[in-house]
């Protein structure tokens, strides 16, 4: 399952995010979205977990929790609609 993680502290990196989510199960991939010019975090990212039940537990436990100095928004990522 692909998980959206928003409102990230700009100092949080992918290893920090992986560390938080792997407490709930196997993390396949972690990606923090960065500005292509400055390289600075845009404050959101995605975590992919292999097991949907573990991912759902992570979403429920981590939504509105604090990482760094900000309260994260955590939910199932929506797929982009393309026409």
Could you give the number of structural domains in the chain? 1
Locus of tokens 């981590």:
62
> Domain for residue 6, yes or no?
yes
What's the pLDDT score for residue 70? 96
Could you tell me if residue 15 is inside a domain?
yes
- How much is the pLDDT for 40? 95
Confidence of residue 82 (pLDDT cuts 50, 70, 90): low
For 18-60, write each residue's pLDDT tens digit: 999 999 999 999 999 999 999 999 999 999 999 999 999 999 9
Q: Which of 79, 69, 62, 82 is nearest to 5 (CA)?
A: 62
- 9 inside domain: yes
Let me know if residue 64 belongs to a domain: yes
Cα separation of 52 and 57, whole Å?
Answer: 9
CATH of the domain at 19: 3.30.70.330
> Which structural domain, as residue segments, surrounds residue 71?
2-75
- Distance, in Å, from the CA atom of 54 to the CA atom of 12, rounded to the nearest integer, reads 22
């Amino acid at each position: 399952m692909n998980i959206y993680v928003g409102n990230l502290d700009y100092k949080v990196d992918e290893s920090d995010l992986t560390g938080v989510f792997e407490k709930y199960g196997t993390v396949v991939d972690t990606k923090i979205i960065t500005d292509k010019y400055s390289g600075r975090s845009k404050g959101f990212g995605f975590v992919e977990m292999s097991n949907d039940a573990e991912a759902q537990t992570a979403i429920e436990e981590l939504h509105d929790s604090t990482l760094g100095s900000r309260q994260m928004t955590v939910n199932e990522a929506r797929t982009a609609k393309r026409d």
